[in-house]
Amino acid sequence: MRNILTTIRYDGRSYHGWQVQENADSVQARFQEALYRVIGEQPDIKGCSRTDAGVHANMYCVSFRTEHTIPADRLPLALNRFLPRSIAAVSAADVPEDFHARYSCRGKEYIYKILNSPVRDPFLDGYALHYWQRLDHNKMNEAAAHFLGCHDFTSFCTSDPHRKKGDFHRTVKNISVTRSGELVTVTIEADGFLYNMVRIIVGTLLYVSQGRIQPAEIPGIIDSLDRKKAGPTAPPEGLYLNRVFY
């Protein structure tokens, strides 16, 4: 029995996230269909994360066990024959028996793209949040620095009935807000993320730029453990799972 790690990329606009759902299309369902066409079986596949509807992935990792003998380096090309154009297999490798795409993960990096322009760009529709009000990325960076380190991020998490209550502490290792012309990008790396954590942090940073929240208020919002004190949940279209660390 082999354990194979496959890395894919996908455009999330047409999917209701990664996870298989009864009445909606998902990335996992399409991947499973393509994998069955290649190896003739439906193994229990493990995804590195659960992305929401409309969220994209520059890097997403999947592991599964199989007795099929296809060389790992040939698997991506074989999968791409059957995957839709919105999903691409990038690489594959044999990994140790105890490797798990989710539980072996040491951290992830997300990026959130914001088109900061009075005029929308049709070529970025669905790939970046269009935000017309001028963003003060320096002020946003000042606020973002307060998220660094280990904190209880209850204030930056949406309640999810499908997930059990647990430890809401996460360690943010890097966070930055950068501007390149009209494109503002928020980058966050952490050892793990709570449900909607990145989108709520982004929404809070947008409030900071508007002056509705001051940078110095961020520690108090974190300590309050009160979701109502943070900013809104930013829309999904600007969010990308960018890197996964093992």
Per-residue model confidence as pLDDT tens digits over 32-63: 999 999 999 999 999 999 899 999 999 999 99
pLDDT for the residue 78 = 98
6, 75: one domain: yes
- CA torsion angle 10 15 16 20 (round to 10): -80
Q: Residues with Cβ < 8 Å from 159, sequence gap 6 or more? A: 195, 227
Q: Is the pLDDT of residue 162 over 70?
A: no
126, 69: one domain: no
Domain annotation covers residue 101 = no
71, 112: one domain: no
Catalytic residues: 52
pLDDT for the residue 159 = 75
165, 126: one domain: yes
Domain annotation covers residue 100 = no
pLDDT tens by residue, 97-156: 999 999 999 999 999 999 999 999 999 999 999 999 999 999 999 999 999 999 999 999
CA distances from 138 to 94, 99, 113, 168 (A): 44, 41, 16, 28
The 3 state secondary structure assigned to 170-229 is: EEEEEEEEEEECCEEEEEEEECCCCCCHHHHHHHHHHHHHHCCCCHHHHHHHHHHCCHHH
127, 237: one domain: yes
Cβ(1)–Cβ(66) below 8 Å: yes
Q: Is the pLDDT of residue 27 over 70?
A: yes
pLDDT for the residue 23 = 87
Consecutive H or E run containing 8: strand 2-10
For residue 121, the tally of other CB atoms under 10 A from its CB is: 13
pLDDT for the residue 22 = 84
CATH number at 223 reads: 3.30.70.660
Cβ(182)–Cβ(116) below 8 Å: yes
93 vs 242: CA distance, rounded Å: 20
pTM for the whole structure: 0.94
Domain total of the chain:
2
pLDDT tens by residue, 211-230: 999 999 999 999 999 999 99
Domain annotation covers residue 99 = no
Domain annotation covers residue 102 = no
pLDDT for the residue 188 = 98
Cβ(189)–Cβ(109) below 8 Å: yes
